[in-house]
Amino acid sequence: TEMTAWLRELPKAELHLHIEGTLEPALMFALAERNGVTLPYESVEAVRAAYDFDDLPSFLTLYYQGMGVLHTRENFFDLAMAYFDRAREDGVAHVELSFDPQAHRVRGVPLEAPFEGLLAACREAESRHGISSALIMSFLRDRDPAEAMEVLEQAAPWHASIAAVGLDSAERDHPPGRFAEVFARARAMGIPGVAHAGEEGPAAYIREALETLDVCRIDHGVRCLEDADLVATLRERRIPLTVCPLSNVKLKVTPTLAEHPLPALRDAGLNVTLNSDDPAYFGGGMLDNHVACHEAFGWTRNDFLAMTRNALEAAFMAEERRDVLL
C-alpha cells in the first residue's frame, strides 16, 4: 500500500536489535553444515514451526540453541551482513546492534570472533548501503555478574568500539541491581548503559535499572504503566523506551497487538521508539513492525515521524550524522 511504501522510505533508526536474533533458519542450516554442528531440526520449515513461544524463557532456549552455529568471525560477519541487506530493504538508516558475548564464550568462542566479525560488517554496511551503526555489548542477567565484569575487562581491546553496554536474557527473578558494579565500571571507562527492564519483569525493575545502573535508555519498559510515579519520572527525564511490538505479541507480553500498551505509553507522553528485537524469531523486521502498528493503532505519518525523531535523538550517533537524518 501507499502507507507501506512511505514507511519503507522513512529513514528509520533501529535501537533495539539482538544480532543473534536475526539468524534466519536458512543461514542457520548453512552455518551448521559449515561448522559440523548438528541441529535438532529436519528442515527450515521445522525450525519455523518450533517458533511458537509461551514466554521469554521459552524463546531464549531456542535463541541460545540457534546461535550455537556461530563459531568464527566470518560467521558473525555473514550473520550481520545478511541482516544489513534486509535492513536496507526496510529503509533502515541506522542500527544499534546488541550482541551477547557470554553466550558465545560459554561455547568456547573467543570475544574476538563476534567483535571483529560484527565490526567488519558495520564498516561494510556503511560503504555498501550507507547504513550507520553502533555496537552494544550486552550482559546476561541470569548469569553471575562477576562473569560480566570479567568479559568487560577482556573486551579492553575493543572498548573504543563499544557504544554502550546492555543487559538482557531472562528477566524474572533477575533484578538489574546485581550489575551495578559492572555498569559503574563501564561508565568510568566512558561507556554508557542501557538495560532491558519491564518486559516480563515488574515496573520496579525499570526504576532499579535507572537508579542503580544509571542507564540512559530502557529496552521494552512496557510494564512501566503499572507505576504512575515511574511514568512521571520517565516522562520528566525523557527516557527513551525501545519498544518491540511484534516481539511482545510473540512472547505473550500482550495477548494481541490491538491490546498492546503502545498507544497508552504515547498518551502518557513517554519517549517511545519502535524496534524489531529478534526479527528472525518474531515474524518481522523494522518495516513489518511499523506496518503492524499502522494497522493496529491507525497511526499516521506524523506519528511515525515523531517516533523516528525520538529514535534519532536517543541514538549513539555522531552529531553530523544526526543532522543529516533529522
Per CB under 6 A, 276 contacts ligand ES4: no
Contact pattern for ligand ES4 over residues 38 through 77, marking x by CB under 6 A: ------------------x------x--------------
Q: Which residues are annotated as a binding site for substrate?
A: 278
Please say which residue, 102 or 247, places its beta carbon nearer to ligand ES4: 247
Catalytic residue among 199, 208, 236, 295: 199
Task: Please indicate whether residue 199 is annotated as part of the active site.
Answer: yes
- The least CB distance from residue 119 to ligand ES4, in Å, is 20
- CA distance linking residue 202 with residue 180, whole number of Å: 18
Per CB under 6 A, 21 contacts ligand ES4: yes
Please say which residue, 56 or 191, places its beta carbon nearer to ligand ES4: 56
Per CB under 6 A, 277 contacts ligand ES4: yes
Per CB under 6 A, 139 contacts ligand ES4: no
Contact pattern for ligand ES4 over residues 146 through 185, marking x by CB under 6 A: ----------------------xx----------------
Position with the least CB separation from ligand ES4: 168
Contact of residue 56 among ligand ES4, Zn ion, none (CB under 5-8 Å per partner type): ligand ES4
| CA distance readout (Å), 240 to 119, 182, 293 | 25, 22, 18
| CA distance readout (Å), 326 to 114, 287, 317 | 31, 19, 12
Q: Is the four-CA dihedral 97, 102, 107, 111 of positive or negative sign?
A: positive
Q: Among residues 12, 71, 73, 196, which is the contact residue for ligand ES4, using CB under 6 A?
A: 196
Please say which residue, 208 or 278, places its beta carbon nearer to ligand ES4: 278
Binding positions for ligand ES4, rule: CB under 6 A: 18, 21, 56, 63, 168-169, 196, 199, 247, 277-278
Q: Which residues belong to the active site?
A: 199
